[in-house]
Structure 1
Amino acid sequence: MANRRCMTWMLFLFACICTASFASNAKINFREKEKKVLDQILGAGKYDARIRPSGINGTDGPAVVSVNIFVRSISKIDDVTMEYSVQLTFREQWIDERLKFDDIQGRLKYLTLTEANRVWMPDLFFSNEKEGHFHNIIMPNVYIRIFPNGSVLYSIRISLTLACPMNLKLYPLDRQVCSLRMASYGWTTDDLVFLWKEGDPVQVVKNLHLPRFTLEKFLTDYCNSKTNTGEYSCLKVDLLFKREFSYYLIQIYIPCCMLVIVSWVSFWLDQGAVPARVSLGVTTLLTMATQTSGINASLPPVSYTKAIDVWTGVCLTFVFGALLEFALVNYASRSGWKSL
């Protein structure tokens, strides 16, 4: 009886060991299966990254690439150079039927690559870009996911400095529209078409904060361009910024009002206090001129008149008028006009 029990326990332990070994081997084989799938679809002589994918449903039409972006931050909007800096996560997705593979009954959801040159990539570029760079800390912030149906998802984090032509006629009560334009560089619309992803093509981080602007809204649109070499697919998103007025109220408008009021103090001084009146008038005039030059130093030298120019010009006129009024009255009193 004891021998039977011992034999039973030994068989039970042996079964447990075999089961654990089988599970371990299955896991190892599963990872090996991923390697075999990658070698099968991207092996030498099996996939050519230079050839673009077929069109929808394997037709000879253009490859369709859906695009969506996530705006992580907007760090600077520069009025002088008329540019803005943005950091975003950029994503593209398309179908490449050459990359289809067996998902092992749903266990293999997707394959991940970190080398973009292993598969065909759309030749998208940012047409209004001035500067840009990738993020490589700690590792390059980029990945490619290949799904069993041949769908390819490309995601990368980038920082860009983009041109933003501005109209400053209403400055500082203005609104500015800054665009982000993306287009194909070499493939025409006969070979490659960019489309905004359906649903929510542009997302913006919730706690986006700008020191002097507020992002009111954004609009997505298409901007296909035609040249003598063909028509190229293009996407754009327009960001509408509203300038915050409180900063200019505290730094410009209130100080200008105070200078005008101070210049009027000379009207209540004794008519014989000529040095005091002259000093007060000249000081306020020079301060107002310095304030005006400081405002213009933070703006580009545009050829049209801005709203802030009208305001500072009126304030300067009032200050100069107060000084001129005293000079005329003093001259009249000394030339005998008072007796008349």
Structure 2
Amino acid sequence: MGSGHYFWAIFYFASLCSASLANNAKINFREKEKKVLDQILGAGKYDARIRPSGINGTDGPAIVRINLFVRSIMTISDIKMEYSVQLTFREQWTDERLKFDDIQGRLKYLTLTEANRVWMPDLFFSNEKEGHFHNIIMPNVYIRIFPNGSVLYSIRISLTLACPMNLKLYPLDRQICSLRMASYGWTTNDLVFLWKEGDPVQVVKNLHLPRFTLEKFLTDYCNSKTNTGEYSCLKVDLLFKREFSYYLIQIYIPCCMLVIVSWVSFWLDQGAVPARVSLGVTTLLTMATQTSGINASLPPVSYTKAIDVWTGVCLTFVFGALLEFALVNYASRSDMHKENMKKKRRDLEQASLDAASDLLDTDSNATFAMKPLVRHPGDPMALEKRLQCEVHMQAPKRPNCCKTWLSKFPTRSKRIDVISRITFPLVFALFNLVYWSTYLFREEEDETF
């Protein structure tokens, strides 16, 4: 039993010693990191104002490789023509002045949180409107220095960037929004930006946008020449496709319904003046309100948009239905006036016939010479007219379906209503065919991304 106690005591003592040695090794290792930092960044040893040398220590330009990780795209504003994006921005370059001993591979890299300790490229976003860093809970930024002198700078930023839009095909359009990065003070003789090889731009999975879909993106170069020299520039083009289902439900279907409702007046009785007037005015005002609401969410541009063509034609159809009732009302009054005139004429003829009959009854014994009103059957002129009538009767007549069908409706006002019931839907259907075929085909044709 005694020997067992001695064994466990020795084992416990050895464990304490090994743990103490490990802690000392860790402390010494952290001390070595501090010594390395002091060695490469100490006072008088490194000047952050001087750029690194070129490839292989030459006097060429410093090469900085860029890559991005798009975390989210918050808003895309049509009115302001801008979009907001949050991204992790990374740039990497080599500074041979920062080489250090990795202690046989144990020291993989050094981490700094102060960007002013080392030289930094003077990159800026040329189409930026607003931007800010993230400082909760600590500044979201780090710098890693690798043993071979490679420096990795990473920071999380939020940007609001300008995005000039072409809204001619709105809301059947695609928009290309760019993210441009360039050097502000160093020309291409001193600093060159390159995209990181492989996958320079990454986008978070399941990126959700309320009215757009990110179809694809491309990386490119956009070096610019000014009076002060040529400056290196990188850009990312993001292709956004507008989600059409929202506009179909909110704009196109309601406009179609308003146009169809305005046609109901064609089926109402011509004497229902209050009903037809109120229906036409209500649909016209509703359509005008719909149009103004659509334009309120868009910037005032000098060209005609696809939605302007749609709302303008729909408003014209509604207004045309209201004018059609005015025409029907005028024709109805004209038909009534003609009917009254015919009735008066018939009454006058009947009165004259009655008067003539009374005169004949009272003056039956009187004889006087009268010129016959009807020619004698043997009269040559009467025979000629009779022959012409017979020839005309024998000539074959082509049946006119439209006239035959319209003859069922004796009044002009009723004919106008019946013609409108057919003409308005046919013309609107033809407009839809031309509209959708034109803009959908142009959408595929104008895609040059």
Which band: TM-score by shorter chain?
over 0.9
16 and 310 in structure 1: CA distance in 2 versus 1, 3 angstrom threshold: closer
Q: Distance in 2 between matches of 1:147 and 1:55?
A: 17
229 and 59 in structure 1: CA distance in 2 versus 1, 3 angstrom threshold: same
Q: Distance in 2 between matches of 1:143 and 1:192?
A: 22
Larger RCO: 1 or 2 (CA < 8 Å, sep 6+): 1
Conservation of the 8 A alpha-carbon contact between 2:80 and 2:299: yes
Which digits, 9 at most, give the CA deviation of each residue in 1:83-120, with x for residues without a partner? 00000000000000000000000010000000000000
Conservation of the 8 A alpha-carbon contact between 2:60 and 2:189: yes
Conservation of the 8 A alpha-carbon contact between 2:220 and 2:236: yes
Q: Distance in 2 between matches of 1:76 and 1:62?
A: 38
13 and 159 in structure 1: CA distance in 2 versus 1, 3 angstrom threshold: closer
11 and 324 in structure 1: CA distance in 2 versus 1, 3 angstrom threshold: closer
Conservation of the 8 A alpha-carbon contact between 2:65 and 2:91: yes
Deviates further, 15-24 or 272-281: 15-24
Aligned partner of residue 116 in structure 2, secondary structure: helix
Identity of aligned residues (%): 93
Structure number, greater radius of gyration: 2
What is the count of residue pairs matched by the alignment? 329
Which digits, 9 at most, give the CA deviation of each residue in 1:285-334, with x for residues without a partner? 01001100000000000000000000001101110111101101111221
Q: Distance in 1 between matches of 2:13 and 2:284?
A: 100
Which digits, 9 at most, give the CA deviation of each residue in 1:25-46, with x for residues without a partner? 2111001000000000000000
Conservation of the 8 A alpha-carbon contact between 2:168 and 2:305: yes
Q: Distance in 2 between matches of 1:81 and 1:331?
A: 50
15 and 172 in structure 1: CA distance in 2 versus 1, 3 angstrom threshold: closer
Where do 5+ consecutive residues of structure 1 fail to align?
1-8
- Deviation at residue 17 of structure 1 after TM alignment: 4.9
Which digits, 9 at most, give the CA deviation of each residue in 1:113-157, with x for residues without a partner? 000000000000000000000000011000000000000000000
Deviates further, 77-86 or 17-26: 17-26
Conservation of the 8 A alpha-carbon contact between 2:84 and 2:160: yes
Q: Which runs of 4+ in 1 moved over 3 A?
A: 9-21
The residue number in structure 1 matching 2:231 is 232
- Deviation at residue 13 of structure 1 after TM alignment: 6.8
Conservation of the 8 A alpha-carbon contact between 2:94 and 2:151: yes
Q: Distance in 2 between matches of 1:309 and 1:141?
A: 46
- Deviation at residue 21 of structure 1 after TM alignment: 3.2
77 and 16 in structure 1: CA distance in 2 versus 1, 3 angstrom threshold: closer
326 and 36 in structure 1: CA distance in 2 versus 1, 3 angstrom threshold: same
- Deviation at residue 68 of structure 1 after TM alignment: 0.2
Q: Distance in 2 between matches of 1:272 and 1:20?
A: 105
- Deviation at residue 24 of structure 1 after TM alignment: 2.3
Which digits, 9 at most, give the CA deviation of each residue in 1:213-260, with x for residues without a partner? 000000000000000000000000000000000000000001000000
The residue number in structure 2 matching 1:305 is 304
The residue number in structure 2 matching 1:107 is 106
259 and 25 in structure 1: CA distance in 2 versus 1, 3 angstrom threshold: same
Q: Normalized against structure 2, the TM-score is what?
A: 0.71
Q: Distance in 2 between matches of 1:212 and 1:270?
A: 45
Q: Distance in 1 between matches of 2:82 and 2:12?
A: 72
87 and 16 in structure 1: CA distance in 2 versus 1, 3 angstrom threshold: closer
Where do 5+ consecutive residues of structure 2 fail to align?
1-7, 334-446
Q: Distance in 1 between matches of 2:19 and 2:197?
A: 46
- Deviation at residue 19 of structure 1 after TM alignment: 3.8
Q: Distance in 2 between matches of 1:20 and 1:85?
A: 52
Aligned partner of residue 172 in structure 1, secondary structure: coil
Deviates further, 11-20 or 147-156: 11-20
Q: CA RMSD in A?
A: 5.9
Q: Distance in 1 between matches of 2:171 and 2:160?
A: 23
- Deviation at residue 23 of structure 1 after TM alignment: 2.5
339 and 244 in structure 1: CA distance in 2 versus 1, 3 angstrom threshold: closer
Aligned partner of residue 153 in structure 2, secondary structure: strand
Please identify which structure carries the higher strand content. 1
13 and 290 in structure 1: CA distance in 2 versus 1, 3 angstrom threshold: closer
Q: Distance in 2 between matches of 1:22 and 1:77?
A: 58
Deviates further, 324-333 or 201-210: 324-333
Aligned partner of residue 173 in structure 1, secondary structure: coil
Q: Normalized against structure 1, the TM-score is what?
A: 0.94
150 and 267 in structure 1: CA distance in 2 versus 1, 3 angstrom threshold: same
Conservation of the 8 A alpha-carbon contact between 2:270 and 2:328: no
Please identify which structure carries the higher helix content. 2
Q: Distance in 2 between matches of 1:290 and 1:10?
A: 91
Deviates further, 23-32 or 114-123: 23-32
Q: Distance in 1 between matches of 2:169 and 2:238?
A: 18
- Deviation at residue 15 of structure 1 after TM alignment: 5.6
12 and 279 in structure 1: CA distance in 2 versus 1, 3 angstrom threshold: closer
Q: Distance in 2 between matches of 1:272 and 1:90?
A: 73
267 and 57 in structure 1: CA distance in 2 versus 1, 3 angstrom threshold: same
Aligned partner of residue 303 in structure 2, secondary structure: coil
93 and 329 in structure 1: CA distance in 2 versus 1, 3 angstrom threshold: same
24 and 321 in structure 1: CA distance in 2 versus 1, 3 angstrom threshold: same
Q: Distance in 2 between matches of 1:124 and 1:333?
A: 77
297 and 10 in structure 1: CA distance in 2 versus 1, 3 angstrom threshold: closer
Aligned partner of residue 124 in structure 2, secondary structure: strand
Q: Distance in 2 between matches of 1:161 and 1:114?
A: 25
258 and 10 in structure 1: CA distance in 2 versus 1, 3 angstrom threshold: closer
Q: Distance in 1 between matches of 2:98 and 2:448?
A: 104
The residue number in structure 2 matching 1:130 is 129
Which digits, 9 at most, give the CA deviation of each residue in 1:180-217, with x for residues without a partner? 00000000000000000000000000110000000000
20 and 255 in structure 1: CA distance in 2 versus 1, 3 angstrom threshold: closer
Conservation of the 8 A alpha-carbon contact between 2:220 and 2:234: yes
Q: Distance in 1 between matches of 2:271 and 2:190?
A: 87
